[in-house]
Structure 1
Amino acid sequence: MTRDSGKAGRLGRVATAGIAASVLLTILIGALGPSAMVPPLAGPSWQPPFSLAVHPGGYLVIALGAAAVTLGGAGLAAGLAALARGWTFRADLWLAAGIAAVAVLAFLPPSGSADHLNYAAYGRLAALGYDPYTVPPDGLPGDPVTGAVAEWGGVTSVYGPVATAVQAVAALVGGDSVRLIVFVLAVVNAAAYIVTGLLLYRSAADGTRRRQVALLWAVNPLLIYQLAAGMHVDTLAILCMVAALVCGAAGRPVRSGLLLGLGVGVKATAGLVALGPAWELRRSPRTLAVVAGSAVAAAGIVYALAGPQAFDQVGAAGRRVSLAVPWSLVKRGLQQAFGPGAYTVWIQVGSLLLFAGLAVLLVRVFSRAALQAAEVAVAVTVAWLFAAPYALPWYDGLAFALLALAFHPVLAAFMTARVILLSLAYLPARQAGQPPGAQEWLVEVVRANVVPWLLMALTAALVWWAWRAGQSGDRAAEARSG
């Protein structure tokens, strides 16, 4: 046994232990029932999702969440380091373990945020004939489903028409039971997560690639925590985009375009992935026209059916700055220097410049004469996540799915560090039901100060590394051509 293989084995054991512990803790949080991490679900107790209804204390469940994130992040980082040293494992067993964990979580109440209550409310509005893009949950007083929304009751839907259609179907099935509507949505979410993993696994060319897929997606404890247990609609958008890239690689441009359009219909920002196929097909104008035409047709139809009001909250979201990102520090500095104001345009321009510059640097990192669609999509998506003024931890799932298609170890390490920080910043993301004093400290100290500074340092490190790596790639290309 070589020294490197021995270290790989030790790191692999650390990875296995950390990932397993994190996933079990994530399951435990949901199984314990309503708490500071798990919003209560109105409806008959015999309906799924199920829990033990222990009603644990807020400090306990927040500590369990912090442990799940920390152990999961450490396990994922150790796994990436072990893979770099040649660690091998049964990828099919890890895939099966991930499927089992996600399936179990579908039968437990969602945790970490209250977004699923918003989904249920928007679906209820649509099922009753109201337009969730013009009527907020508060616009239907006295309803048992819309009345369950605590924090965003006055906000109309921020999600695309495809997401709204899924939510409406769930509401039709669940009726006036929040619990049952959420369960239907959880089953759809779990199915999307599992099918994404199967698509990624089938597209992997060899055992090494399958192990990367297993680690970055199937058993990724941070994604299981955010996307599976958190039940965020991003999972459905990710499925569409991964399927689009897989179909594109298989030479099916119409299907690829339609899936890209449907993904945009779930969440508009997922459309960044389309820049990957656009770049790869730029020298094949006929195929590019088929993909683009299919995508525009699919997205155009669903948004036309929803109406222009479906874009209202998309535009509003583009003007927000979330507390945990470095741009909140910039905004605070501008306010101190120039007086009160949102400085929206300044921050938008700055974020666009950072996005464009970082995307160019990351594209160069791959150092290929003919970049693949997934590689460009990875570069663009990672650049967007690091540059965006508004970001939440579950947004990062898209980057991990794309990295499972076009693996890059250093970018995977940067994304792991980023999602750990954001997950700790939004621990939990919901405001209601927090123990006295804890929420103030978690929001005012961790979310608003500690994490933004750490993310600023991480962003600077990414820019520096991408610049150096791009230069090295250029020199290597010159040497090969010379």
Structure 2
Amino acid sequence: MSTSAQPVPHPPAKDPADAAGSRRARFAGRAGLAMIGIALAVMLGVAFLGPSAAVPELGGGDPPWSLRAGPSDTPVILSCWAAVIAGGLGVGAGLYALRRGWRPARGILPAGTVVAVLVLTLVPPAGSTDVLNYAVYGRIAALGHDPYVMTPAWLHNMGDPVGEFAPLAWRRAPSVYGPLATWAQTAGSWLGGGTMAGTVLALKIMIGLAFLLSALMLDRLAGPDRGRRVRVHLLWSLNPLMLWHVVLGGHIDGLGVFFLVAAFLALRRGGAVAGLSAGVLLGAAAAVKAPFVLAGAGLAWAARRPAATFPAMAAGVSAILAAAYVTQGPAAFGNVVGKIGSRSLADPWRVITDPLGLGAQSSVLEGRLALGAALLIGLLLCRRLPPGPSGLDSVRPALAWCLCWLLTSPVQHPWYDAMLFPLLALMPAGRLDGLLIARGIVTTLIYLPGASGLLQPTALTGWILEIYRPWVAPLAADLIIVCVIALSLAGALGFRPASPRDFSPRSSGLQHQDAERR
């Protein structure tokens, strides 16, 4: 008896729109990684050329070694600007592709992170002289003096091999860093063998290791979802803005991030022990730099249940901060509080205060503007930010209160964003991504080249000093503040939920099934 032939199943036809979208996602992802790689290569090249407008003098003979080629100001400045802009655009392109289903090959981002951190750690710092200040304060403490009272000028005037290279801008300023930062700086001085180059290298190795451990913990907090893990690497581990400031620049903020991320990881378990551990770690972060305590708002919100968690966390924070500052004396606390009345080049309110002739110090008007805007933005973000990641209730309010301060404070620097990007990396994709990457680029450019206070007069340096710093950058920062407020009021900080079509298995073979949950 014959049987009728069964029809041969045909695979569903590919939608041309899906295929085109998949190609765009792949192109954007690959272009993003290429721009990140180029940015990091340029940063490495600027540092390896040796002392310049972007790279401070450390003394010869000891690592970190460089070519000591003596490049002129203009190519160094242009290279730094190009690297920062390309790096920020690369992160943005990667995030765009990630939302549309692109995933890089497994292992390429962690491997790239390790290589980038290693090479950027072993070359001289670039873009800032802050790590030299750390070395000087550590040397003062290692010699048995108080860095919160003794100024670097004393060490410089006595001809000390570390003090000889003390940056001029901070030569008459005692330390404003927390006690834990001072202990790290002292350890760096002991390990560095009494030279500026050796101390800087020791500090950079310490901070580079903290950066890598933070990346590892963030990867764990992201969970098994591959899209969330790629997002963490794009916004933190391989973010050229963070690698420039934290690893290459050697800013002590990287050590604070390590303790902060560890606090979020500890609190996931819940209970009194977890609360106490998270509190101790949060206190340690604040003992590196005081603003890290702002993230405690998120941790406190997450610690409200079970009932024993919050008291334990509060006890941990109080105990570690009290113990840390008691060991240093009242000058340590007074110096930190004294920063409240100051302002920085990245002050977003200078477009108002400068024309009024209110001077270099933060005014009462500026303080009121900053406080009012911070409270408004903080409350809006607490209500309007998209839901945070499952099991990490602490991240959303922590991001809200850290961001409102970072956007509005008269005292801010681009490396302060090291507190912000780990929190942003754990949140779902949203419009804050592009705004904060743009802000990171704008504020970073203000401080470039970073190692020379006196630049050769050229058309480029004149534009930076007379137009970009006092007008373009503050106006851009104010525009970002307005955008954050407007998007919050409109409820548009998050992207629309992904439709099933966006992550269809037939979208040109991309692995959409592990796309980021929103």
Equivalent position of 2:215 in the other structure: 197
Distance 1:160 1:202 in 2: 28
One-letter amino acid of the structure 2 residue matched with residue 66 of structure 1: W
Deviating more after overlay: 423-432 vs 134-143: 423-432
Equivalent position of 2:268 in the other structure: 249
Query: Is 1:91–1:207's contact at 8 Å kept on the other side of the alignment?
Result: no
Deviations 1:442-479 (A, max 9, x none): 23321111111111111111110111117999xxxxxx
Equivalent position of 1:479 in the other structure: none
Equivalent position of 2:293 in the other structure: 271
Given the superposition, is the C-alpha separation of residues 170 and 7 from structure 1 closer, same or farther in structure 2, using an over 3 Å criterion? Answer: same
1:391 matches 2:409? no
Equivalent position of 1:219 in the other structure: 238
One-letter amino acid of the structure 2 residue matched with residue 175 of structure 1: G
Of the candidates 451, 467, 482, which is equivalent to residue 473 of structure 2? Answer: 451
Of the candidates 341, 348, 356, which is equivalent to residue 375 of structure 2? Answer: 356
One-letter amino acid of the structure 1 residue matched with residue 366 of structure 2: I
Equivalent position of 1:477 in the other structure: none
1:26 matches 2:48? no
1:87 matches 2:102? yes
Given the superposition, is the C-alpha separation of residues 176 and 286 from structure 1 closer, same or farther in structure 2, using an over 3 Å criterion? Answer: same
Equivalent position of 2:427 in the other structure: 406
Query: Is 1:362–1:470's contact at 8 Å kept on the other side of the alignment?
Result: no
Query: Is 2:432–2:493's contact at 8 Å kept on the other side of the alignment?
Result: no
Deviating more after overlay: 179-188 vs 78-87: 78-87
Distance 2:57 2:269 in 1: 44
Distance 1:305 1:399 in 2: 29
Q: Which has the higher helix share?
A: 1
Equivalent position of 1:111 in the other structure: 126
Equivalent position of 1:164 in the other structure: 182
Query: Is 2:42–2:80's contact at 8 Å kept on the other side of the alignment?
Result: yes
**Residue aligned with 1:348, SS:** helix
How far 1:2 moved relative to its partner? 2.7
Equivalent position of 2:503 in the other structure: none
Q: Which consecutive residues of structure 1, in runs of 5 or more, have no partner in the other structure?
A: 474-482
Deviations 1:279-331 (A, max 9, x none): 22235432100011111111111111111211233222211122333211121
Given the superposition, is the C-alpha separation of residues 296 and 326 from structure 1 closer, same or farther in structure 2, using an over 3 Å criterion? Answer: same
One-letter amino acid of the structure 2 residue matched with residue 327 of structure 1: W
Of the candidates 338, 344, 348, which is equivalent to residue 316 of structure 1? Answer: 338
Query: Is 1:80–1:409's contact at 8 Å kept on the other side of the alignment?
Result: no
Deviations 1:342-389 (A, max 9, x none): 562221122111111101111122354998101111111111111111
Equivalent position of 1:133 in the other structure: 148
Query: Is 1:138–1:154's contact at 8 Å kept on the other side of the alignment?
Result: yes
Distance 1:70 1:299 in 2: 38
Distance 2:151 2:93 in 1: 44
One-letter amino acid of the structure 2 residue matched with residue 32 of structure 1: L
Deviating more after overlay: 436-445 vs 306-315: 436-445
Equivalent position of 1:9 in the other structure: 26
Given the superposition, is the C-alpha separation of residues 471 and 302 from structure 1 closer, same or farther in structure 2, using an over 3 Å criterion? Answer: closer
Query: Is 2:54–2:77's contact at 8 Å kept on the other side of the alignment?
Result: yes
1:77 matches 2:102? no
Equivalent position of 1:429 in the other structure: 450
Q: What percent identity do the matched residue pairs reach? A: 35
Equivalent position of 2:226 in the other structure: 207
Distance 1:356 1:286 in 2: 29
**Residue aligned with 1:285, SS:** coil
Using structure 1 for the length normalisation, give the TM-score: 0.93
How far 1:171 moved relative to its partner? 0.9
Distance 2:360 2:221 in 1: 49
Equivalent position of 1:96 in the other structure: 111
Distance 2:36 2:163 in 1: 36
Regions of 4+ moved over 4 Å: 339-343, 367-371, 470-473
Given the superposition, is the C-alpha separation of residues 130 and 453 from structure 1 closer, same or farther in structure 2, using an over 3 Å criterion? Answer: same
How far 1:54 moved relative to its partner? 1.3
Equivalent position of 1:151 in the other structure: 169
Which structure: larger Rg?
2
Query: Is 2:443–2:473's contact at 8 Å kept on the other side of the alignment?
Result: yes
Q: Which consecutive residues of structure 2, in runs of 5 or more, have no partner in the other structure?
A: 1-17, 496-518
Deviating more after overlay: 86-95 vs 293-302: 86-95
Distance 1:123 1:308 in 2: 18
1:415 matches 2:424? no
Distance 1:471 1:256 in 2: 29
One-letter amino acid of the structure 2 residue matched with residue 315 of structure 1: V
One-letter amino acid of the structure 1 residue matched with residue 86 of structure 2: L
Query: Is 1:14–1:78's contact at 8 Å kept on the other side of the alignment?
Result: yes
One-letter amino acid of the structure 1 residue matched with residue 439 of structure 2: R
Give RMSD over aligned pairs: 2.0
Query: Is 1:91–1:214's contact at 8 Å kept on the other side of the alignment?
Result: no
Distance 1:138 1:94 in 2: 44
Distance 1:325 1:467 in 2: 24
